[in-house]
Structure formats: structure tokens, C-alpha cells
Amino acid sequence: MKFTRAFSLIIAMVIAPAALAGSNTQSDDTAAIKQKLSDTLSVDVMSLRESPIPGLYEALTNRGVLYISKDGTKLLHGNLYDLDKGMKNLTEAAMSGPRIDMMKPLEKNMLVYKAKNEKHVVTVFTDVDCGYCRKLHNQMDEYNDLGITVRYLAFPRAGIPSANADEMEAVWCAADPLKAMTDAKSGKAVKLAKCDAKIAEQYNLGQTFGINGTPAIVLEDGSLIPGYQPPKDLLRVLDAAAAE
């Protein structure tokens, strides 16, 4: 009995440092991979975790999701789908939860067109000059009448800095931003204005979400729909998502 206890104690003392060393090695490896991604691609890596594919890490960056081999030598960029789950987009699913949290600091900067009988809330990355953004905005009453509240974040497609970004800042900094947005999307000039609108932060957030065009619609669960959705079609999508 004494021999068995002593033997168990010795085994525990041997295994514990080995396990700790393995953990530290893995930590060192992931830290090195994060640094390599940052140095090579000029991206900020917010998290690095096991991907659904063995042998690959899933890196959540400020330019979307990347997949990298565990030895840090091979990189994949694109969507990963699950054939056994109806072609579920696993890359999109990886971004859904983080998007909700990442939008919260900018909620006070959103331009909100609130529905009276609110059923759903969507966040739309928009540009004052894009045709489909204007089409969506022209139907704002229809979205609101269906119970859809629309929150705008700025995504000037010309980038930061640009005249396009200055135009959007003018909208956000106007005395009546909601009216200024309608004016801008109707082709009317909006008087230039400066304030702490955080247009650059909004644009950078869109890039983190993987957005490269407007409008881009973020649903309540954090999933992203690229492109314009007619009011009734968007309601069907929102109702279906809420029923899951």
C-alpha cells in the first residue's frame, strides 16, 4: 500500500511538469504565430484557437478570419463550410458572436431609425454614395413599418482619409444627422462639419467584420448579409433566424 502511494506520487510529480511544459510550448507557438501574422500581413490578431479542421488554427483578425497551419507556414483565406450541416458557413459562424460585442462601444455613434413597434434590430454599414444604400434608405419607412429598426454605421468605400469619409463625417456631425443622411442619400450637399463621430473606427470595424462593400447588414445574432435586402425579404430572414 505504501509502495503504491509512493509510486503514484512519483508519477504525478513527473507528469505535472511535463504537462506544464507542453502547455507552455503550445502557448509559445501560438504567440509566435500571432506575431508572424502581424509582421507578415500587418494585421492585428485578436484570438487564435483550434479550427474545425485538425492541424489548422483559426485566427480572428482585424481583417476577418484566417486559417493557418500549426507550424505557421501555410495560410488559408476564405470561407469554410460544413457539408454535413447544409453547407453551414463556419467562417461566418466564427465571426457572429464577436461582432455583437465589438459593435457595443460604437452604439452611441450609430444613427438609429427606430421602428414604433420594434420586432427586430439590424445594423447596416452604409455609404452615402452607393446606389443600393440609397435604395435601402428610400425604403426606410417600409422597414420601420414592418417593425425593423435600422442602425447605421459608416463605411466610406473610398477609405480613410477621403472626401467620401469627410462627407460621411458631415452627416454624423450635422445638427440633425437623420435628416442629413436623407439629404446626402438624395444627392443633396451637406455642410461640412467636424466632431468626434468616430468615422474611422466605424470603417475599421467594418473591415474587421470582413466587409468590402455596402450595404452590409448585421443581424441580431451577429451574422452578416452582404448587399441590399428588400424590406419583406429582410423580415423573413429575421423571423427565421429568431425562430431557430
Residue 130 known to be catalytic: yes
- Euclidean distance between CA atoms 240 and 107, whole angstroms: 25
Among 127, 134, 151, 173, the active-site one is: 127
If you search the block for the grid coordinates 441590399, which residue do you land on? 228
- Of the residues 44, 130, 183, 221, only one is catalytic, namely 130
Please give the radius of gyration of the chain, using alpha carbons only, rounded to the nearest integer. 23
Q: What is the distance between the alpha carbons of residues 227 and 214, in angstroms, rounded to a whole number?
A: 6
Q: Which of 63, 134, 151, 157 is catalytic?
A: 157
b/e code 131-155 from CB counts within 10 Å (16+ = b): eebbebbebbeebbebbbbbbbbbb
How far apart, in Å, are the Cα atoms of 34 and each of 41, 66, 102? 11, 11, 20
Cell of 240: 427565421
From CA 40, how far away is CA 63, in angstroms rounded? 13
Active site amino acids: 127, 130, 133, 157
